[in-house]
Amino acid sequence: MLFESAENAQKYPMMRRLFYAQPTTAPLTMWFDDDSCIAAETDVTAWLPRIQQQLSFHDFVGSIYRTRLEGNQAAWIKAQPWYAGKEPQAYVKFPAGSWWAGRTDVLRRFDWPPETLTHRGVDVMLGELCRQQDLLLGHFRDGVWINANADGVEAAGSKRGKNELPIGFDYQL
């Protein structure tokens, strides 16, 4: 499937188009940003079964980070349909949005990513959705360069695209 856009369509609206314009029947979904890839030395025929194995006991896998909630993000979380009454904590664990794999049924159940979200912090909120819904995150980054520079150093890729406040930061109470 190919979508072309003359201007930056923003990451999450494009992800949503890819996930829902012609919905997949695959039980698992894997996402790569343009700054992430399978490492050249990775044996994909051995790597893919490892991902499948990880997803047999986790709902999402990726490079797990944690970040502090800012501004009105806690209030934004409480206003979401997936909020299950667990008080938002100061920090959220989440799979980095540059590369992750997860269960397609979970994405569909929560209609993820939401139509209204465009760029910064959707990965963080996926982590909070998982905490609220008792879904399991697994740390897995073997064989993949995630938000990498030319040497494959993780989280060292240059920032590009739109710079905006994190989702929910300026949520109006």
Task: Count Cβ atoms within 10 A of the Cβ of residue 154 and give its class: 0-12 exposed, 13-18 middle, 19 or more buried.
Answer: middle
pLDDT band with cut points at 50, 70 and 90 for residue 2: low
| Average pLDDT across the chain, whole number | 91
pLDDT band with cut points at 50, 70 and 90 for residue 59: very high
Within a domain: 51: yes
138: pLDDT strictly greater than 90: yes
Number of folded domains that form the chain: 1
The 3-state DSSP class for residue 81 equals coil
Within a domain: 22: yes
Within a domain: 162: no
- The tens digit of pLDDT for each residue in 60-103 reads 999 999 999 999 999 999 999 999 999 999 999 999 999 999 99
Within a domain: 166: no
d(CA 29, CA 99): 11
Within a domain: 169: no
**What's the pTM value of the predicted model, to 2 decimals?**
0.91
Letter for the amino acid at 19?
F
Confidence at residue 131, expressed as pLDDT on a 0 to 100 scale: 99
Within a domain: 38: yes
- Mean pLDDT confidence for 38-51: 97
Backbone angles phi, psi at 81, to 5 degrees: -65, -20
- Mean pLDDT confidence for 41-58: 98
- Going by C-alpha positions, the residue among 134, 130, 65, 133 that lies closest to residue 99 is 65
Within a domain: 80: yes
Within a domain: 157: no
Range(s) of the domain holding residue 31: 14-145
CA–CA distances in Å: residue 161 to residues 10, 65, 119, 148: 8, 21, 9, 16
